[in-house]
């Protein structure tokens, strides 16, 4: 079935939304009939899906690298051949500009798929490891193997990236996958498209798709998986952890929390303002690694906030932000109402923005400037939980006292990300050494997610485990230890009955030599081998 025939998608390819075609004056929801219904979850049979996938895995087919690459290429075609349909769906769900979608999701996904296609052969090879003395002669290595049937739970705020990136890793590592699309009235348009695209492009022997909110997720987690990968908030993380405990199922949890940003007096304030205006309000502020609050040196506080206001005007249109095609909307009414309640409680601290529109679920970029009022800052609604929206609280810490922001950050739950703007090497080193976070970025925002050569994940309350690139392959693999031996040397002292003389031999054979001693032993061993060869050559002439 051609993509243009998918229900709910434009029949005329010319009507697809491309980067240059977004029209913000068109209501995302011109009538209730435009919004596709939630999938009929009553017809889902996760038990049957898991059983079918387990039967497929038992055939050993996904251990074949050709099968893995064919699945990755199918996913690659799904994305490449349907960008217009995906653009339109995400625009309707999140008011996300196609260029923003490309830069923050689609481009990263395409790179991830290509990396797996290019490198999965190398990543899948056994890795030779040293063999200790008592196992000589022998050969030791670790061999990556797929876990089995895994569950990938996606979320709505970056619905392409956070669903399909872990799917790439799961398939590339050779697993069969149950994919859960988010429910509860979030990405209805995209869900409608993805369900049909998965049906068209992905082999059901290896990938099954389900959809649902909290109750459906709890039900599907009653099944036994070999790993559960979930992206969401702490509430979801606890649901997953509780379900995983039943079978001691390993988990990778990408959660969130309140990620801080410290701006000290040595920072390039103009650069910081530009990057924070983007990082804090891209995707309507609905980003798990966005800066959730700013700690600014009081010496430069007012100057920085003025620059930040100017950047928000420049990037999102100032008073005309509602007409901007580059500014998102809150995902649904429940989230909108929560943010408005938060804003209303802290409204006296609004220094910029604060406008709302219930019909569009619009909240303008909003700065909550508490200045040096620490008690008001820490007791505010905006600091009581992860904001996950376009509100940004700001506090001015005592001039030159980096202890204050460091102590504040370390006194709270470990965040998913931490940002620091500074040109002072000692200050940067202090923040890096004295704080803990899933990731840390100096003098920029969010861009750590674009580097597949480093892992992305949380720590403590912000999550466990990591992925992206090779780290994703590792997350969805078991590294099995294999040691090959023969009967040439069989140390008799290890067998019963045990005697003092055996203890002496074993003590020598199993002595904990230091690294330096091992190097010397290897050097002497190599020299001894050369000497023996030289003797053999000499007396064989």
Chain segment 43-58, per-residue pLDDT in tens: 789 999 999 999 999 9
pLDDT of residue 493: 86
pLDDT of residue 529: 62
Q: Is 254 a catalytic residue?
A: yes
Q: Are residues 354 and 503 in the same domain?
A: no
Tell me if 421 is assigned to some domain: yes
Number of domains in the chain: 3
Written as six digits, the tokens of 185 are 């009235």
Task: Return the percentage of the chain with pLDDT > 70, whole number.
Answer: 90
CATH number, domain of 163, equals 3.40.605.10
pLDDT of residue 37: 67
Contact 179, 171 (CB under 8 A): no
Tell me if 366 is assigned to some domain: yes
Contact 511, 132 (CB under 8 A): no
Has residue 187 got a pLDDT over 70?
A: yes
What is the pLDDT averaged over residues 160-187? 95
CB within 8 A of 116, min separation 6: which ones?
72, 168, 169, 171, 172, 473
Q: Are residues 144 and 292 in the same domain?
A: no
Describe the crossing of helices 188-201 and 65-80 by its angle, rounded to 10 degrees: 140
pLDDT band at 452 (very low <50, low <70, confident <90, very high): very high
CA 68 remoteness from chain centre? 22
What is the pLDDT averaged over residues 521-540? 68
CB within 8 A of 451, min separation 6: which ones?
468
Has residue 33 got a pLDDT over 60?
A: no
pLDDT of residue 536: 62
Has residue 437 got a pLDDT over 80?
A: yes
Has residue 538 got a pLDDT over 90?
A: no
Tell me if 30 is assigned to some domain: no
Residue 403: phi and psi, rounded to 5, are -60, -40
**Residue 490: exposed, middle, or buried by beta-carbon count in 10 A (0-12, 13-18, 19+)?**
exposed
pLDDT of residue 98: 97
Contact 286, 252 (CB under 8 A): no
Q: Are residues 378 and 509 in the same domain?
A: no
Asked which of 15-29, 47-61, 102-116, 294-308 is least confident by mean pLDDT, the reply is: 15-29
pLDDT tens-digit series, residues 137-156:
899 999 999 999 999 999 99
CB within 8 A of 32, min separation 6: which ones?
none
Has residue 218 got a pLDDT over 90?
A: yes
**Residue 160: exposed, middle, or buried by beta-carbon count in 10 A (0-12, 13-18, 19+)?**
buried
CATH number, domain of 431, equals 3.40.309.10
Has residue 10 got a pLDDT over 70?
A: no
Tell me if 197 is assigned to some domain: no
Tell me if 230 is assigned to some domain: yes
The count of other CB atoms within 10 Å of the CB of residue 118 is 10
Q: Are residues 157 and 287 in the same domain?
A: no
What is the pLDDT averaged over residues 383-396? 98
pLDDT of residue 541: 46
pLDDT of residue 11: 35
What is the pLDDT averaged over residues 213-228? 95
Tell me if 434 is assigned to some domain: yes
CB under 8 A, 24+ apart: contacts of 52-60? 52/204, 52/205, 52/208, 53/149, 53/176, 53/177, 53/178, 53/205, 53/206, 53/208, 54/148, 54/149, 54/176, 56/176, 56/205, 56/206, 57/146, 57/148, 57/149, 57/175, 57/176
Asked which of 79-88, 289-298, 344-353, 514-523 is least confident by mean pLDDT, the reply is: 514-523
Has residue 9 got a pLDDT over 70?
A: no
pLDDT of residue 55: 99
Q: Are residues 65 and 148 in the same domain?
A: yes
Q: Are residues 289 and 214 in the same domain?
A: no
Catalytic residue among 100, 105, 216, 254: 254
Q: Are residues 214 and 269 in the same domain?
A: no
Q: Are residues 248 and 264 in the same domain?
A: no
Range of the domain at 281: 260-449
Q: Are residues 320 and 333 in the same domain?
A: yes
pLDDT band at 463 (very low <50, low <70, confident <90, very high): very high
Has residue 426 got a pLDDT over 60?
A: yes
Higher pLDDT, residue 501 or 299: 299
Q: Are residues 147 and 71 in the same domain?
A: yes
pLDDT of residue 185: 81
What is the pLDDT averaged over residues 70-88? 98
The secondary structure of the chain in percent helix, strand, coil, rounded to multiples of 5, reads 50, 15, 35
pLDDT of residue 42: 64
Has residue 388 got a pLDDT over 60?
A: yes
pLDDT band at 123 (very low <50, low <70, confident <90, very high): very high
Has residue 2 got a pLDDT over 70?
A: no
Q: Are residues 171 and 140 in the same domain?
A: yes
- How confident is the prediction for the chain on average, in pLDDT? 91
Q: What angle do CA 380, 381, 386 make, to 5 degrees?
A: 115
Tell me if 279 is assigned to some domain: yes
Has residue 450 got a pLDDT over 90?
A: yes
Q: Are residues 65 and 162 in the same domain?
A: yes
Task: Return the percentage of the chain with pLDDT > 90, whole number.
Answer: 79
Tell me if 244 is assigned to some domain: yes
In angstroms, the CA 506 to CA 136 distance is: 14
pLDDT band at 534 (very low <50, low <70, confident <90, very high): low
What's the chain's Rg over C-alpha atoms?
A: 28
Has residue 338 got a pLDDT over 70?
A: yes
Catalytic residue among 288, 309, 311, 404: 288
Of the candidates 390, 343, 393, 344, the one whose C-alpha atom is nearest the C-alpha of residue 368 is 393
């Amino acid at each position: 079935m051609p993509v243009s025939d998918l229900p709910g998608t434009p029949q005329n390819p010319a009507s697809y939304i491309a980067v240059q075609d977004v029209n913000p004056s068109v209501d995302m929801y011109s009538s209730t009939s435009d919004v596709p219904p939630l999938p009929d979850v009553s017809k889902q049979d996760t038990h049957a899906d898991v059983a079918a996938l387990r039967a497929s895995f038992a055939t050993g087919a996904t251990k074949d690298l050709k099968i893995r690459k064919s699945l990755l290429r199918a996913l690659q075609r799904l994305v490449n051949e349907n960008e217009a349909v995906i653009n339109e769906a995400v625009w309707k769900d999140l008011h996300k500009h196609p260029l923003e979608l490309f830069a923050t999701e689609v481009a990263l996904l395409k790179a991830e798929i290509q990396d797996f296609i290019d490198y999965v052969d190398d990543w899948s090879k056994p890795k030779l490891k040293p063999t200790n003395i008592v196992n000589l002669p022998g050969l030791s290595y670790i061999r990556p193997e797929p876990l089995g049937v895994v569950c990938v739970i996606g979320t709505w705020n970056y619905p392409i990236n956070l669903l399909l990136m872990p799917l790439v890793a799961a398939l590339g590592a050779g697993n069969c996958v149950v994919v859960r699309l988010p429910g509860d009235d979030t990405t209805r348009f995209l869900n409608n498209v993805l369900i049909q695209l998965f049906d068209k492009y992905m082999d059901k022997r290896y990938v099954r798709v389900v959809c649902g909110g909290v109750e459906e997720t709890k039900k599907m987690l009653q099944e036994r998986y070999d790993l559960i990968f979930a992206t969401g908030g702490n509430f979801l993380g606890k649901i997953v952890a509780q379900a995983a405990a039943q079978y001691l199922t390993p988990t990778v949890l990408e959660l969130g929390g309140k990620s801080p940003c410290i701006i000290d007096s040595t920072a390039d304030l103009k650069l910081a303002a530009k990057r924070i205006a983007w990082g804090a309000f891209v995707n309507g502020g609905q980003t798990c690694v966005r800066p959730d609050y700013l700690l600014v040196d009081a010496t430069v506080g007012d100057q920085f906030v003025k620059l930040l206001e100017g950047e928000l005007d420049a990037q999102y249109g100032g008073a005309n932000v509602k007409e901007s095609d580059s500014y998102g909307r809150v995902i649904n009414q429940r989230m909108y109402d929560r943010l408005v309640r938060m804003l209303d409680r802290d409204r006296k601290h609004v220094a910029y923005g604060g406008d709302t529109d219930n019909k569009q679920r619009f909240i303008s970029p909003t700065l909550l400037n508490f200045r040096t009022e620490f008690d008001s800052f820490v007791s505010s609604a905006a600091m009581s939980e992860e904001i996950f929206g376009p509100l940004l609280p700001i506090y001015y810490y005592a001039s030159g006292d980096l202890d204050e922001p460091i102590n504040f950050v370390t006194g709270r739950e470990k965040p998913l990300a931490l940002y620091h703007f500074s040109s002072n090497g000692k200050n940067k080193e202090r923040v890096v050494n004295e704080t803990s976070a899933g990731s840390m970025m100096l003098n920029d925002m969010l861009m750590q997610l674009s580097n597949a050569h480093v892992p992305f994940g949380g720590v403590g309350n912000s999550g466990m485990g990591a992925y992206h690139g090779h780290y994703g392959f590792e997350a969805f693999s078991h590294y099995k230890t294999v040691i090959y031996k023969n009967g040439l040397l069989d140390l008799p002292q290890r067998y019963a009955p045990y005697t003092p003389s055996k203890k002496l031999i074993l003590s020598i054979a199993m002595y904990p030599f230091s690294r330096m001693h091992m190097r010397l032993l290897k050097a002497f061993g190599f020299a001894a081998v050369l000497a023996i060869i030289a003797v053999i050559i000499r007396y064989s002439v």
